[in-house]
Structure 1
Amino acid sequence: MKDRNAKKALEESISRIVSVSITHELLSESGIVDVDIKILIERIADNGKDYLLEPNKNIDIKVLGNTFVVDSQYATSIALIANELIQNSIDDGFKTKIMDI
């Protein structure tokens, strides 16, 4: 792709899909219907670093706060919201990379 806007839209879509995937992965690992939201958000933050930040930047994303579980029916929505917050923070705070596709 040569269009920067198209690349950025694709990058953001991939990030959203991976966030939902992380949620389902946590659910399948635990074998229960509750998700530890702190672990979920930490994995989404790691995903954001991998997909949205330039690799040569020394930027760390820390998730602070207590751990707690939420019912799986809310986990996907929370994952998408967390992904948007992280993605917007990265977009607004740092120059993001454009993936080579």
Structure 2
Amino acid sequence: MWETLFKGKELDDNTIRDVTVGGVPLLVAKVNGKIYVSDLYCTHEQTSLSEGFIEGCNIVCSAHFASFNLKDGKVVSGPEGESGPIKNLNVYNTKVEDGMIMVEL
């Protein structure tokens, strides 16, 4: 089911924003003009990734610098000082229709 998030022009390039849709907390990122939507919380310690930063096409968690690819949600690097694996992020299909960012949940 497609859900409308907000107007695409409300999100500048290379920025992130959090939003909750249908009770699902999401991270919305715009990198080089493309929109990506993933889980909002880091799989390491549930820190909001909206407090992190974009590096290339990755979102980096502000807590322990775990990094996830925004395209597919895969872990790029685990948290600093930790050796065990962490889970990938869920990513969601997106589209822009009539200027509105939409996500498929």
TM range (shorter): under 0.3
Structure (1 or 2) with the larger CA radius of gyration? 1
Structure with the bigger percentage of strand: 2
Say which structure, 1 or 2, has more relative contact order (CA 8 Å, 6+ apart).
1
